[in-house]
Amino acid sequence: MKLLEARKAGWVIGDRRIVDRVDLTVREGECLGLLGPNGAGKTSLLRLLAGLEGPSTGEVLLDGRPLASWSSKARARRVAYVPQLSPVQVPLDVHQLMLSARYPYLSARQLAPAAGDFAAVRQAAHEVGIESLLKRRLTELSGGERQSAYVAAALAQRSPILLLDEPTTHLDAGNRRRVAELLLALGRKGRHTLVVATHDLRFAARLCDRLVAMREGALVAEGTPAQVLTPEVLGDLFDAPFRVWRDGGEVLPVLELDSEESA
């Protein structure tokens, strides 16, 4: 089933084409990865899919309806977005941030969060493993802790479609693995459809069912990790030589260094 669909979707700022007439379908229950160098258009495409920006050309559909026809609350019940650069100077603690993600469910007559909102926050904090951070202010957190808080807020929003822009940014190896395992678990439970923009090729290989490679705003390759994470595709995408190792069913892309760099 198609949940999100971009049809010739483009985004033009001035004379610069940020996203170039993209055709893309996000299917229910899958994890779709967006790969590409800096400036490829990954974040811009995510923002179009989230409804945070309107396409200059073409359209984006959510559940078969133009995204522009959805109210902000109705859209937020279906789609949650986690930015790469989470705001730092937000005068909230983690618990307040997560409660704010429940706004799509507040009625016009509701003056305060209900029991279900607090329960959603507790469950999301437990899933991400940040119960100890709930009383901490966002300004007191490390970059990795703050990123984990925003991922937890997206889970508290209880939207079935999660769009994540570089979710492992600022995370050390242990926390990066924990976030990857969390996202894998969410996908396996069938609770969420994931679209993840990432530079971490091993993370993408482990997490994603399907990958899309972008360059200069356009899609240049699409397929399974085994089909996209090849020396030829990665070499063209990043203008750098790659080797790809296969360990059982896992694909392990490795950037090659020349002899001078290796020395």
- 145 contact partners, CB below 8 Å, separation of at least 6: 130, 133, 136
On whether the CB atoms of residues 10 and 24 are closer than 8 A, the answer is: no
Split into its structural domains, the chain has a count of 1
Residues 213-225: tens digit of each pLDDT: 999 999 999 999 9
Range of the domain at 231: 2-262
pLDDT per position as a tens digit, 88-124? 678 899 999 999 999 999 887 777 889 999 999 999 9
CA distance 98 to 219: 34
- Distances in whole angstroms, Cα of residue 255 to Cα of each of 17, 18, 63, 93, 135: 29, 27, 39, 40, 41
CATH number of the domain at 17, please: 3.40.50.300
Provide the whole-model pTM. 0.90
Tens-place pLDDT, residues 163-205: 999 988 777 777 777 777 888 887 776 678 999 999 889 889 8
